[in-house]
A and B are shown apart, each in its own frame.
Chain A
């Protein structure tokens, strides 16, 4: 199964944009890129996912490199509530299983 590499931790200031990187150099052509986040003492929460094109939703944007070997989750204006562990995950086209890595712990400073 293809693996992802993320920085262990990042820090951001409140109300500033945050760019969370993810490397997935062994991604296959049919793997979707998913992002989830986990707030303290809670289950993971879906953020966004995509295949080839950049994606936007109310929570975030996902920028996917042209060769698909990396992607970036963009939080446009970080809030204190965005402090969480963010996981970048690859899943096969049939979406039947995920393998979580260790994620990036995002700290947001007031």
Chain B
């Protein structure tokens, strides 16, 4: 049981490049979310999903796309990377009623130069 797996752990992008941050969970959780955390700050919600085929925006969705074709995977796409997107990105998942809360991945540290 691996929990929530995020890849890659580290990434450096040039401004304007695109990339996909991968997130996979093996707990059959319905709810999945993406957050970003800037240095010294709390987490901010980017996008979330309540099940396969269903996604919605959080508080900072601009510049990011998501899709949820399977229960297990919830990739986050950066369309055209900007230095303002330099951050640590966390993926999280939870079972339907959230009795045990969200399980977070270990994060992807992204630097845009």
Contacts and interface: CB of A to CB of B under 8 A. Distances in A.
A binds B: yes
Interface in B86-113: 90, 92, 94, 96-98, 100-107
A42 to B, nearest CB: 7
Interface of A: 32, 34, 36, 42-47, 49, 85, 87, 91, 94-103
B48 A97 contact: yes
Interface residues on B, range: 20 to 34
Contacts of B35: 100
Contact of A44 (B45, B56, B59, B90): B90
Nearest to B47: A97
Contact of A100 (B43, B100, B106): B43
Interface of B: 31, 33, 35, 41-45, 48, 50, 56, 58-59, 90, 92, 94, 96-98, 100-107
Which DSSP category, helix, strand, loop or mixed, fits chain A's interface?
loop
Nearest to A36: B101
B33 A44 contact: no
B31 A43 contact: no
A42 B106 contact: yes
